[in-house]
Structure 1
Amino acid sequence: MKLLIRILSISIIILLYACAKQSTPMGGDKDENPPMIQSMKPANESINVKPETIELEFNEYIKIENANKQIIVTPRINKDEMTVTALKNRVVIKLNQELEDSTTYVFNFQKSIKDITESNPAENLKLVFSTGNEIDSLKFSGKVSYTFPQKDKFMKDVLVGLYQKNDTTDVLSASPYYLAATDSAGNFEITNIKAGEYRAYAWHDSNNSLKAEEKSEAYAFYGDTITIDKDIKDINFILSKADISELKINRTSTVGENFDVVTSKYPTVITVEQEDLNTKLFYRQNEKNIRFYHTELRNDSIQAKLTLRDSVGFKLDTLLYLSFEESDRKKEKLETTVNSGSNFLKNIKAEYSFNKPIADINLDSLYVKYDSASILRIERDWIYLKDSSNYTQVFMDIPLVDTLTNTTFTIFAADSTFRDVEGMYNEKKVEATYKKLNPETLVTSLDVTIETDFRPLVLQLLDKSGKIVKEVFLENTNKHSFVDFEAGTYHLRVILDENGNKRWDPSNMFQNRQAERVYYYKNPADITSMDITIKAGWVNEITVITSPTKEKADDENVETEITEEIETEIEVDDN
């Protein structure tokens, strides 16, 4: 009898729990309607209220998803203190903090509230109220895009924020006072702003920290303080990554017979001043590690001046004492990589990369094979360094006589062909194959005109994967013809090289310097496409029309305006 009563009791408890639990009803038509708001406490656009709890009631059972990320509250509050719960058809938000006086608050719920049947999100759901006697109504709106196109065509996790002028924080250190998320096309609007002076930023917030991570997330800033006393619109932000952390030397140490300098970030430019440089003193760079080698000095040190510059323009000058000691530590093996698989038209362009500086090349074991029995000896004059201080990059420009009808050539380097500054040789043979192109399959010419008065320019032809196929630096002209390359689909990119260093430079927020402007070809028939399809044997004439630019990089708008949205037009005349 007791057992029967116990079984009945358990059955009743299970039944009651099943009745109380929110679940998706079985059967019936699919629910395609979003939940509709029935009431809000406080009421929308209330004034002179300072609630401790916010309550929303809907016409059906709902659930909350990613409340901390999806619910955007402006001005800034401490969301870690806020609790959000859903019970049946109600959402209850306990603020657990004091709100500011005479301030308009906006709770933008985005897609956080959904019905429990089909997860349809409540649409355009906002709650606006004021702790004072009026509702602030000013707006700040515009568009966000990326300097370099992203794989995902739809923008996500991108935020725009306003910081009060006197706020000592910024996008890299704290969340903003006003905040909005962009839509999938990059459009944004911050509403109900109090009149005042602000600093504006946009960033990709992949980790939901409500601020930008300078080493991993792209961001942009508006150069000047913005006075918002009326609606501000058509603001454009162009996102790019820019690590403006301090450039410094983290440590120095002897490693075996060598000397290491470890920096805080990757230096893009390294200059060493020392009388033994390139004769007895050499170095190689591996990311943030600079290793020095000396072919003679042991158990002693020398003084050297080291100058470093990073991608955002920070510079470090220092004097170092490089020490080189006797060591029984095993030397690092010499490793080689080469651009095998590359194509060429007239001369073979070989590029060899080594993990250590090279001291000598044995030409007796280095040659070109073009059939089973024929070879071409490589001459010393065909070997060169592009950077006279970088002995880890060796290039070869190998001319071939026109009488050779072969299409495939192999550069063969036997073991012990390459010797590094520590006396180590390559232990295995190195073979690299190159294919000669047929001139009849090549594009005759791609004639490019860039309609801008800005100089200098970097013009790049990219394949669809983003690899630079051809590049040219235009210092005194806005025209160039790319010739003799394979037919296919390409992209075209123009960089306005403001400092003339022949590469794109990111922004530097500390120096109030915007990233260098970049323009891509956009297909006139489909502005979402950057493809240029070029056929063999054709001459293609392309005109790139950029947005209006200034003659000089120090024009006041260059420093203070957000870079204009990339808009290019291409006119193609195929002959």
Structure 2
Amino acid sequence: MRFINTALAAATALVTAGCASVGSPEGGPKDTTPPTLVSSNPTNQQLNVNTNTISLEFNENVQPISVQKELLITPFTDNKYRIRFKDNNLSLIFDKPLQDSTTYIFNFRNGIADITEKNVAKGLRLSFSTGSYIDSSRVSGKVLNLLTQEPEKDAVVALYRANDTLDIRKSRPYYQIQANAQGEYSLENVKEGTYKIFALQDANTNSLYEEIERIGFKAEPITVTPDSQYVVLQTARIDTKKPIGLQRQKFLDRFAITYTEGISRITAKTIGSADTVSSKIAPDGKIAELFRSPKFNGGKLLVAVLDSAGNSSLDTIQVDFGTDYTQRVQGAQLKVINGNQQTQTYRPGQKLTIALQGQVKINGANPISIQADSVNKTSLKYPEQINLDKTQTELTFTVPKLAARQQPYSIVIDSTQLVPVHNKKFPIQPIPLTIAEAQGFGSVKGTIAGNQQNFILQLLTTQNKVLKEVRNQRNFHFTDLPPNSYKLRVIRDENNNGKWDQGSADFKKEPEQIYMHPDLIEIRANWDLEDIRIQL
């Protein structure tokens, strides 16, 4: 709600344009020194201030840089102000006198810079009181990204008076401060009292919460006193939007629905008979496919989907089938999630899935073979070694031991034994298969101690992608790990539902807490890492 006088802004633009050539002398050293505050009115920590103008004088010429967005005034005020600047002076002129008997803090963040190189006067902060004393209560702490336990850089920490009905989605906080790059914050000169506290990944710097941003909070208000207290806030996204079907496509053997976001579960039942229709979720997580079968050849379905945050949608959908196969899968190809078919490597003993362009039935005992040439060939038996899923579009088997790992292999599918259900052929070519060299694998084992009854232990990559997880196992052992660096994360699964639960949208329930093992897990070939102890 703050503004710059229009005429003044225009004049400033002209002045700036006229001074466009100002800079360091050609060939001279670049100016890297930020401006320094020489004096101010009122002065820092001054009492009994009675003015509607805040004046700052610097040791060199300065300019405002998005001051309306950068300047944090606490406690929050809707008292509008104009900005006036000339040479090395900058003033804020308020429409009305400041509130009586109030301690004010002006935090300019990145809002003032010099003219020549736009060096920012970082850490510029002015505090004073319109009464006879300066409030001395304070709260400090740290802001962390909950799921990674890494610092939430530059998060805004906000206080709202506990008895206020102000909403962080619509109203700016009464007090606020920006955490540093390490996530550390210290909010000082606060009036003693009880407050609701939040930490906000303020992506658009408007000090208001939007659902795309991570937010941390305490479900219960905190009491801020002159005695120092330390509050850790952990941010996470709160997803309240239900999945919505954006696009529907009909193919020969399936009906595809594209949703607005990733889904984790789908069920589809016929209306009336309540028969379950075969379905699956595509690797990208956003496409749900409903499949044709002898019992279902089209009609109305009741389709329920659930996303990872627990948001659900239920729709009645008219399903019809088309005449062509989907183009999402071409013939037969390796199914890879979060990877690339061209670079994925496999090893003996590892599960492998082939996605098919259409539904098939198997009329033979050896529909798949792995071969390097006509002599070096390993045939797989059906159904002993090969599984055809319920949608009839995926084949899964365990990679057998092979004679040599260095030479290239191909997965060859016998099209005479793999017959399209709907009597329309699709091309099936040999699939290149890269077998990992015999470098050896490692493992990690350990124990989880403490009173926490329900938990989920996850093995992560260094990019925080979940590779493996176990539930409620005090003694854990992750095996067959390629040499690499890994992380261990524990979710405190308070309601024992097998997943991490986010905080409530009304901020009355905090998200389930996370423990991150402090050290990277370094796995070496043919080596078992033991005695990892996690205390909950």
Question: One fold, TM greater than 0.5?
Answer: yes
After TM superposition, give the deviation of residue 125 of structure 1 in Å.
Answer: 2.4
What are the within-5 Å matches in structure 2 for residues 303-382 of structure 1? 304=302, 306-316=303-313, 318=314, 320-325=315-320, 332-333=326-327, 335=329, 336-339=333-336, 340=341, 341-353=343-355, 358-360=359-361, 366-381=368-383, 382=385
CA separation in 2, counterparts of 1:33 and 1:390? Answer: 67
After TM superposition, give the deviation of residue 224 of structure 1 in Å.
Answer: 0.9
CA separation in 2, counterparts of 1:200 and 1:417? Answer: 65
After TM superposition, give the deviation of residue 264 of structure 1 in Å.
Answer: 5.8
Indicate conservation of the 8 Å contact 1:508/1:515, yes or no. yes
Residue 138 (structure 1) aligns with: 137
Indicate conservation of the 8 Å contact 1:344/1:437, yes or no. no
Residue 193 (structure 1) aligns with: 190
Indicate conservation of the 8 Å contact 1:294/1:324, yes or no. no
Indicate conservation of the 8 Å contact 1:72/1:107, yes or no. yes
Q: Secondary structure at the match of 2:104?
A: strand
After TM superposition, give the deviation of residue 205 of structure 1 in Å.
Answer: 1.6
Could you tell me which amino acid in structure 1 is paired with residue 194 of structure 2? E
CA separation in 1, counterparts of 2:477 and 2:248? Answer: 50
Moved more, 412-421 or 184-193: 412-421
CA separation in 2, counterparts of 1:357 and 1:283? Answer: 14
Q: Which residue of the other structure, out of 497, 506, 515, is the alignment partner of 1:519?
A: 515
Question: Given the superposition, is the C-alpha separation of residues 488 and 39 from structure 1 closer, same or farther in structure 2, using an over 3 Å criterion?
Answer: closer
Is residue 2:101 matched to residue 1:107? Answer: no
After TM superposition, give the deviation of residue 108 of structure 1 in Å.
Answer: 0.7
Indicate conservation of the 8 Å contact 2:75/2:105, yes or no. yes
Could you tell me which amino acid in structure 1 is paired with residue 397 of structure 2? M
Cα deviation code 1:293-336 (max 9, x no counterpart): 444689973453x44433333445x4x54424476x75533514
After TM superposition, give the deviation of residue 61 of structure 1 in Å.
Answer: 1.9
After TM superposition, give the deviation of residue 345 of structure 1 in Å.
Answer: 4.9
Cα deviation code 1:343-399 (max 9, x no counterpart): 555424212346x784545766532114443333332333347xx777666532244
Q: Which residue of the other structure, out of 455, 462, 484, is the alignment partner of 2:460?
A: 462
Question: Given the superposition, is the C-alpha separation of residues 423 and 287 from structure 1 closer, same or farther in structure 2, using an over 3 Å criterion?
Answer: farther
After TM superposition, give the deviation of residue 138 of structure 1 in Å.
Answer: 1.5
Indicate conservation of the 8 Å contact 1:343/1:437, yes or no. no
Residue 157 (structure 1) aligns with: 154
Is residue 2:487 matched to residue 1:491? Answer: yes
After TM superposition, give the deviation of residue 468 of structure 1 in Å.
Answer: 4.3
Residue 45 (structure 1) aligns with: 45
Indicate conservation of the 8 Å contact 2:145/2:152, yes or no. no
CA separation in 2, counterparts of 1:37 and 1:538? Answer: 60
Indicate conservation of the 8 Å contact 1:414/1:429, yes or no. no
What are the within-5 Å matches in structure 2 for residues 241-280 of structure 1? 241-245=237-241, 247=242, 249=244, 265-274=261-270, 277=275
Cα deviation code 1:273-312 (max 9, x no counterpart): 445756x6546566555453444689973453x4443333
After TM superposition, give the deviation of residue 186 of structure 1 in Å.
Answer: 0.7
What are the within-5 Å matches in structure 2 for residues 54-203 of structure 1? 54-78=54-78, 82-96=81-95, 99-117=98-116, 119-122=118-121, 124-149=123-148, 156-203=153-200
Q: Which residue of the other structure, out of 523, 526, 529, is the alignment partner of 1:540?
A: 529
Unaligned stretches of 5+ residues in structure 1: 1-15, 524-529, 550-575
Amino-acid identity (%): 26
CA separation in 2, counterparts of 1:248 and 1:445? Answer: 38
Is residue 2:424 matched to residue 1:427? Answer: no
Question: Given the superposition, is the C-alpha separation of residues 61 and 391 from structure 1 closer, same or farther in structure 2, using an over 3 Å criterion?
Answer: farther
CA separation in 1, counterparts of 2:425 and 2:511? Answer: 44
Q: Secondary structure at the match of 1:69?
A: helix
Indicate conservation of the 8 Å contact 2:347/2:399, yes or no. no
After TM superposition, give the deviation of residue 74 of structure 1 in Å.
Answer: 1.4
Q: Secondary structure at the match of 1:510?
A: coil
Cα deviation code 1:456-496 (max 9, x no counterpart): 44333334444444x24142x32223334333333333333
CA separation in 2, counterparts of 1:445 and 1:241? Answer: 33
Moved more, 56-65 or 457-466: 457-466
Could you tell me which amino acid in structure 2 is paired with residue 39 of structure 1? S
Is residue 2:229 matched to residue 1:233? Answer: yes
Could you tell me which amino acid in structure 1 is paired with residue 451 of structure 2? D
CA separation in 1, counterparts of 2:368 and 2:387? Answer: 15
CA separation in 2, counterparts of 1:368 and 1:242? Answer: 47
Question: Given the superposition, is the C-alpha separation of residues 255 and 345 from structure 1 closer, same or farther in structure 2, using an over 3 Å criterion?
Answer: closer
Residue 386 (structure 2) aligns with: 383
Could you tell me which amino acid in structure 1 is paired with residue 236 of structure 2? S
Indicate conservation of the 8 Å contact 1:312/1:508, yes or no. no
After TM superposition, give the deviation of residue 52 of structure 1 in Å.
Answer: 3.3
Residue 5 (structure 2) aligns with: none
Aligned residues: CA RMSD: 4.1
Residue 559 (structure 1) aligns with: none
After TM superposition, give the deviation of residue 435 of structure 1 in Å.
Answer: 1.3
Could you tell me which amino acid in structure 2 is paired with residue 383 of structure 1? I
Q: Secondary structure at the match of 1:39?
A: strand
Q: Secondary structure at the match of 1:442?
A: coil
Question: Given the superposition, is the C-alpha separation of residues 18 and 346 from structure 1 closer, same or farther in structure 2, using an over 3 Å criterion?
Answer: closer
Is residue 2:449 matched to residue 1:451? Answer: yes
Residue 220 (structure 1) aligns with: 216
Indicate conservation of the 8 Å contact 1:254/1:323, yes or no. no
After TM superposition, give the deviation of residue 107 of structure 1 in Å.
Answer: 0.5
Q: Which residue of the other structure, out of 435, 440, 443, is the alignment partner of 1:442?
A: 440
CA separation in 1, counterparts of 2:287 and 2:528? Answer: 47
Question: Given the superposition, is the C-alpha separation of residues 294 and 174 from structure 1 closer, same or farther in structure 2, using an over 3 Å criterion?
Answer: farther
Residue 397 (structure 2) aligns with: 396
Residue 292 (structure 1) aligns with: 290
Could you tell me which amino acid in structure 2 is paired with residue 332 of structure 1? T
Question: Given the superposition, is the C-alpha separation of residues 366 and 338 from structure 1 closer, same or farther in structure 2, using an over 3 Å criterion?
Answer: same
Cα deviation code 1:513-541 (max 9, x no counterpart): 33333333334xxxxxx3x3333333322
Aligned length: 506
Q: Secondary structure at the match of 2:506?
A: helix
Q: Secondary structure at the match of 1:68?
A: helix
Indicate conservation of the 8 Å contact 2:257/2:287, yes or no. yes
CA separation in 2, counterparts of 1:101 and 1:361? Answer: 84
Cα deviation code 1:240-263 (max 9, x no counterpart): 223123x26567978578766666
CA separation in 2, counterparts of 1:425 and 1:70? Answer: 63
- TM-score normalised per structure 1: 0.73
Residue 9 (structure 2) aligns with: none
After TM superposition, give the deviation of residue 180 of structure 1 in Å.
Answer: 0.8
Indicate conservation of the 8 Å contact 2:334/2:431, yes or no. no
Q: Secondary structure at the match of 1:162?
A: strand
CA separation in 2, counterparts of 1:255 and 1:410? Answer: 32
After TM superposition, give the deviation of residue 142 of structure 1 in Å.
Answer: 0.5
After TM superposition, give the deviation of residue 97 of structure 1 in Å.
Answer: 6.0
